[in-house]
């Protein structure tokens, strides 16, 4: 049977106070509980640690040797607890965040400076992947996922919703003219995703309903690649507001087919494995990002 930390603390308290009664008061235990703990400890070790008389307690030679080691153990535990308390109050350590490249570039990267200033002891590792990843396999603390979630093993925290719109650059519209109806899109260069195919269903009213499935002339796995192609005048694209906010404000991308566009909002969630005690570096990152998104990204409607 192994020695417990409680027994070590009882032993040290008795020695420090030179009294079982005083140790019981200090530890908020009964005198009998303290006596039993000492007896159990000596029985486990197979030695006598304290000589007890009616007047005093005296350490044996074995007791002196064991006390020195016991104090080191108690001190180490107290130091560890103190460090955890510091980390709760001042989060620290490595935080691995994964997101699709458009969300990383347009939403998270602009927030890094403010976050690092507020939490200087957190070391950020930012990774991009345009497909869904396994958090354990990629050693990821937080992943940002866009769209409907299906993995029930993960805890999800909603960050925002982002509207889908259809865009083209002024240069493209000048060269090819602006389509006036959904039907006219068949005469244009359409930019779409390699996968999932659902991303090629644009939020446009047509004879088939409220989603218009395109056949792309150019496909890409990343929304950022499609954005760059659209800015270069290579075609018409459907993208989320979070990655086109600056382009719309500057006029670099122009929304088209406004009257035929239906409101489709993509959910954006931060996901992480379920824990009873969430690491403070994760919770403070999510709190910070959520607050900044509410103050900036969501203000643009």
Q: Is the distance from CB of 241 to CB of 107 less than 8 angstroms?
A: no
Q: What is the CATH number of domain 162-265?
A: 3.40.190.10
Q: What is the pLDDT along the chain (301 residues), one digit of tens a residue?
A: 588 999 999 999 988 888 888 889 888 899 999 999 999 999 999 999 998 776 778 899 999 999 999 988 988 888 787 677 766 677 888 899 999 899 999 999 999 999 999 999 899 999 988 766 566 556 788 989 888 877 666 788 999 999 999 999 999 999 998 999 999 999 999 999 998 888 899 999 986 777 899 999 999 999 999 999 999 999 999 999 999 999 999 999 999 999 999 999 999 999 887 554 567 888 889 999 999 998 775 445 5
Residue 246 burial (CB count, 10 A): 12
- By residue count, the chain amounts to 301
Q: What is the CATH number of domain 5-89?
A: 1.10.10.10
CA distance readout (Å), 249 to 167, 241, 246, 260, 301: 13, 11, 5, 21, 11
- Answering whether pTM is above 0.85, one says no
Task: Judge whether 5-89 and 93-160+267-299 match in fold.
Answer: no
Angle between helix 109-118 and 280-295 (nearest 10): 130
What whole-number distance in Å separates Cα of residue 253 and Cα of residue 246?
Answer: 9
What whole-number distance in Å separates Cα of residue 283 and Cα of residue 278?
Answer: 7
- Hey, where are the domains in the chain? 5-89, 93-160+267-299, 162-265
CA distance readout (Å), 167 to 90, 94, 173, 201: 44, 39, 10, 14
SS3 of 86-115: HHHHCCCEEEEEEECHHHHHHHHHHHHHHH
Superfamily of domain 93-160+267-299: Periplasmic binding protein-like II (3.40.190.10)
CA distance readout (Å), 164 to 39, 159, 199, 266: 72, 16, 10, 7
């Amino acid at each position: 049977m192994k020695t417990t930390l409680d027994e070590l603390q009882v032993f040290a308290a008795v020695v420090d106070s030179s009294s079982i009664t005083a140790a019981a008061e200090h530890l908020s235990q009964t005198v009998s509980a303290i006596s039993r703990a000492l007896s159990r400890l000596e029985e486990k070790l197979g030695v006598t640690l304290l000589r007890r008389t009616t007047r005093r307690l005296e350490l044996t030679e074995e007791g002196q040797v064991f006390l020195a080691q016991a104090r080191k153990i108690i001190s180490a535990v107290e130091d560890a607890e103190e460090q955890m308390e510091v980390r709760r109050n001042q989060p620290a350590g490595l935080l691995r965040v994964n997101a699709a490249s458009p969300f990383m570039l347009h939403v998270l990267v602009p927030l890094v400076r403010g976050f690092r200033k507020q939490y200087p002891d957190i070391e950020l590792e930012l990774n991009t992947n345009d497909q869904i990843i396994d958090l354990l396999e990629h050693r990821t603390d937080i992943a940002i996922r866009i769209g409907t979630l299906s993995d029930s093993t993960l805890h999800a925290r909603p960050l925002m919703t982002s509207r889908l719109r259809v865009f083209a650059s002024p240069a493209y519209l000048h060269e090819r003219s602006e389509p006036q109806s959904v039907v006219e899109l068949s005469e244009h260069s359409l930019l779409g995703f390699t996968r999932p195919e659902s991303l090629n269903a644009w939020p446009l009213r047509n004879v088939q309903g409220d989603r218009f499935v395109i056949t792309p002339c150019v496909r890409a796995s990343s929304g950022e690649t499609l954005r760059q192609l659209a800015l270069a005048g290579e075609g018409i694209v459907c993208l989320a507001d979070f990655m086109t906010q600056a382009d719309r404000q500057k006029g670099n991308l122009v929304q088209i087919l406004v009257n035929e566009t239906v409101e489709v909002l993509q959910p954006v969630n931060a996901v992480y494995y379920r824990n009873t005690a969430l690491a403070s570096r994760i919770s403070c990152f999510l709190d910070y990002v959520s607050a900044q998104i509410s103050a900036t990204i969501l203000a643009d409607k």
